[in-house]
Amino acid sequence: MISRLAVASVLAVAAAAAAGPVSAQQPPVVTVSVVPDQDPFYAAPSDIGSLGNGQVVAGREIRTTLPIPVRAWQVSYRTNDSHGNAELGITTLLVPTAPWTGPGSRPAVSEQIPEDATGTRCAPSYGIATGTLQSGDQFAAMLAEGWAVAVPDFEGPKSASFTGPQSGHAILDGVRAAGGFTPAGLGPDTRWALDGYSGGAAATGWAAELRPTYAPELAFAGAAIGGVPASLPAVMNNVEGGVFSGFLVGVLVCYQREFPEARIDELLNLRGRADIAAAADLCVIELLIRYPFWRLAAATADGYHDDSRLTEALQRNSLGGSAPTMPILNYSVRLRRGGARSAGGRPGRGLAARGSDGRHHPRPSGRTRSGGVAAAVHGPAVPPGPAHRR
């Protein structure tokens, strides 16, 4: 409910020409039954490097078990990893079947689900298609409002969580792909917003920071981010040795894949290497169950704090390096027994100091639900830069 109110206010200022209807063509609807690693749809074409950022590779309509009548598509597109290398991105587009009756065109939200996993079987696209996604209440409320929703697999084909540039690229290119995918009926006049909580908030923040340079032609009403792990070194220090230390194990797995130059494997002893190998294909709940009270000191030769390569890699993927130009709402949900709300710092202050419209809104909550926004982001959408105005 909180998340719905926040994104509603992000989009409330939108007014544009009425959107056209969803394409009348009815391609075969696919029932997804195999995991991404075995599904040819997730395989990048050999010439992906020749495609433009956000250019659609393929699309297929899928069946879902969502409680709201929608048409749903998985769309693949070209995007880039943290080093600028071309890779295949996947986003799931959800468009309510009911006609949009609000002002202007149908609004759209890119919703970043906090995946925090090390295997593609945990990707949102697979979870939506198979009915196994455990974090869909946020976008279900948005669909009930009549909005279109894009849910990108922002961890990418390497299932790399908390890899800032890669996730930002995947989100922005996913919005580009959604606009270029004709069957969904989302055109150049669609007003977009971004939303994410926890790991999804980190990815959303990176998309907001990268948008002025990576995708200046895209316009957004704003972004809502909650429970933000702003400083990754602080987050990992806080979870190490506690009940949430599985997050640290997952990050080590992902950084081995996305940042080979960090040479994570060289830091680990035999136990550490065995633990990281065993964690190579786990969803977040599995990581937390298998690795509570896990400590780097027992898994490395010199310990976490004595090696700068890991801390530098974590810092490079922390938020706050540049100022977003879109309005940012930074919200938090207080838990009854405290929690990790402040584990990563408060990015709203840093964003505001760097010139963005960043606001922090704490809101008490009696539930440990990953989702919710405390207040609205107001103001007009950020227009494209001068060279990209239509």
Whose structure tokens read 């007003």?
Answer: 191
80, 213 in Cβ contact below 8 A? no
The Cα 77–Cα 89 span in angstroms is 5
CB 354 within 8 A of CB 320: yes
User: What's the pLDDT score for residue 48?
Assistant: 97
Q: What does the pLDDT read at residue 180?
A: 94
* Pairing assessment for the beta strands 192-197 and 220-226 based on DSSP bridges: parallel
Contact by Cβ (8 Å): 195, 138:
yes
Our measurement of the distance from residue 343's CA atom to the centroid of its chain's CA atoms, rounded to an integer in Å, reads 19
Distance CA 271, CA 285 (A): 22
Position 371 scores a pLDDT of: 35
pLDDT of residue 135: 73
Q: Which of 151, 158, 31, 174 is nearest to 92 (CA)?
A: 151
How many whole angstroms separate alpha carbon 279 and alpha carbon 58?
A: 31
Tell me which residue has tokens 């990281």.
Answer: 276
Locus of tokens 């990015």: 347
Estimate to the nearest angstrom the gap between the alpha carbon of 161 and the chain centroid. Answer: 9
**Residue ranges of the chain whose pLDDT lies below 50:** 1-2, 5, 9, 12-24, 335-343, 345-356, 361-380, 382-383, 385-390
Residues 187-215 have pLDDT tens digits of 888 999 999 999 999 999 999 999 999 99
> What's the number of CA atoms in the CB half-sphere (13 Å) around residue 65?
12
**Region of residue 198 (phi > 0: left; psi between -120 and 50: alpha; otherwise: beta):** left
State both tokens at 304: 């976490």
